[in-house]
A and B are shown apart, each in its own frame.
Chain A
Amino acid sequence: MPERASAQTWVEVHRLVLAPGERAPQTPDDTQQMPLELKVKGFLTHDAAIGEEVDIITPAGRTLSGTLIAINPAYTHMFGAPLPELSRIGGEVRAMLKDRRKAP
């Protein structure tokens, strides 16, 4: 049973903007084979379940339609593991400064 949201809930919708055959001519091959997709958040205008076609009112006041993909979606981005190539730079810089200040 897909999760349901009631009207006025903050949600995210998804829609296809351009299908693979409709992409711009200058688009490189790997991108050309993919659709251009859009995700937008806004307030649901009526009760609906995930996967249904819905309308939302965006913060700019526009009504947009799309497939309901998330209800009150969380921000989940993060920055991954530290890069080993960068992890010793702080020590190198401090050592250089120390040497420099010891020099006559």
Chain B
Amino acid sequence: MSPPHTYDAIMDQKAAIMRTSIGIDYAQYATGVLSFDYERLFADTGYDLDATRTIQQHTAVGSTPLVEIANLTELARAVAKPGHGARIFVKDEAANPSGSFKDRRASLSIHKAKTRGYAGVVAATSGNYGAAVASQAAKAGLNCIVIQEAFDSQGIAQPEIAEKTRACEAYGAEVMRLSVGPELFYVFLRVLKETGYFNASLYTPYAIMGIETLGYLACQVREQAGRFPDVVVATHAGGGNVTGTARGLIQAGATEMQMVAASVDLSGLHMASDHDFNRKSFTTGHTGFSVPFTTWPDRVDVPRNPNESLVDSANVLGVRRASRQLISAGVSLCIPASGTWIATATT
């Protein structure tokens, strides 16, 4: 490797590469040690909720059904304390074009890349987000490069990631499959620098604003249950999902609900360990970023992420068990892998 491409040399150029590839200087929004001006950051994107909805409708993203799962409510009531056991609804995000809620997150990034005249987009992702970016890029006629952490030192690929490789390649993306390690980010910066493509990452405000249209689920609950949801549960990995959903719910008028962030507890499985990589059996909302990164707020999607107090967690087997229970109770097979929003309303 020639000197300008060493790990340290590329990481030293991080700030400049990020500015060129997103067009945002995050430093100007930090207003104090812990405070961050989200509203100005979001306003400066040039999109609001109506614009986001219009852009998403153009590529058939969003407007997914809200389904009441009466069996799940019955199961909850079988084990709930007297007086507890609210009606449970599930937002069927698998109905999005690439099969998950991540289409919402990709849609504004690709729209921004297209309108600013970038020739292509790059995303570092091993999960559903890659398929979403590749799908949106295909619709927009942009080149797409997806960088995955895909296989361990034995060459063994994680099956959920391998399936996303297939999806991304089907959508016409170049997929760079890497072995295990945090230098995925180094390769990502190198590719941005070499191609001049747009940075379609989950931590940009576009990827968070794209989620806000999910707030409509509050109105869907009101149509079916006569009131806004009391509790909304969303997956928490990098935090953008929970932040975007909560912002959207507030804009829909549901200001009194409780937001619960669900994460996988991957204690004992190091995020960057070659040995642990194939023992996790999860990608997407389950990469294991959440728990270590919520104590290191600027490493997550949302600057100064305040969501850690909202996080509830289960271990790997617990999540698989809960997924099977959901499916057995009548939730579509694909939903647990597509991002599940569970809304409850006491009636």
* Chain A positions near chain B (C-beta within 8 angstroms): 17-19, 22-24, 26-28, 30-31, 34-42, 58-62, 75, 77-80, 83, 85-86, 89-90, 93-94, 96-97, 99-101
Contact = CB atoms under 8 A, between A and B. Distances in A.
Given A18-B1, A93-B328, A34 B183 contact: no
B17 to A, nearest CB: 16
B325 A30 contact: no
B174 A36 contact: no
A38 B166 CA distance: 16
A72 B243 CA distance: 42
B24 interface: no
Interface of B: 1, 6-7, 71, 74-75, 77-78, 120, 143-145, 150-151, 153, 157, 159, 162-163, 165-166, 169, 172-183, 186-187, 195, 270, 272-275, 317, 320-321, 324-325, 327-329
Given A30-B275, A61-B143, A39 B177 contact: yes
B328 A37 contact: no
Contacts of B181: 18, 23-24, 27, 31, 34, 36
Q: Nearest 8 pairs between A and B by C-beta?
A: A77-B162, A58-B174, A93-B328, A60-B174, A60-B143, A34-B153, A37-B179, A90-B328
A89 B272 CA distance: 32
Contacts of B187: 17, 36, 38
Given A28-B273, A34-B180, A38-B178, 11 more contacts: A28-B270, A30-B274, A35-B179, A36-B183, A38-B177, A39-B151, A60-B143, A77-B159, A89-B321, A93-B75, A97-B75
A23 B272 CA distance: 12
A68 B152 CA distance: 19
A27 B144 contact: no
A60 B187 CA distance: 16
Contact of B324 (A28, A58, A75, A90): A90
B273 A40 contact: no
A50 B176 CA distance: 19
A39 B71 CA distance: 45
A26 B272 contact: yes
Contacts of A23: 7, 181, 183
A39 B177 CA distance: 5
Contacts of B176: 38-40
A8 to B, nearest CB: 17
Contacts of A22: 1, 6-7
B7 A18 contact: yes
B182 A83 contact: no
A79 B282 CA distance: 12
Given A89-B321, A89-B325, A93-B325, A24 B159 contact: no
B151 to A, nearest CB: 8
B293 to A, nearest CB: 13
Contacts of B74: 97, 100-101
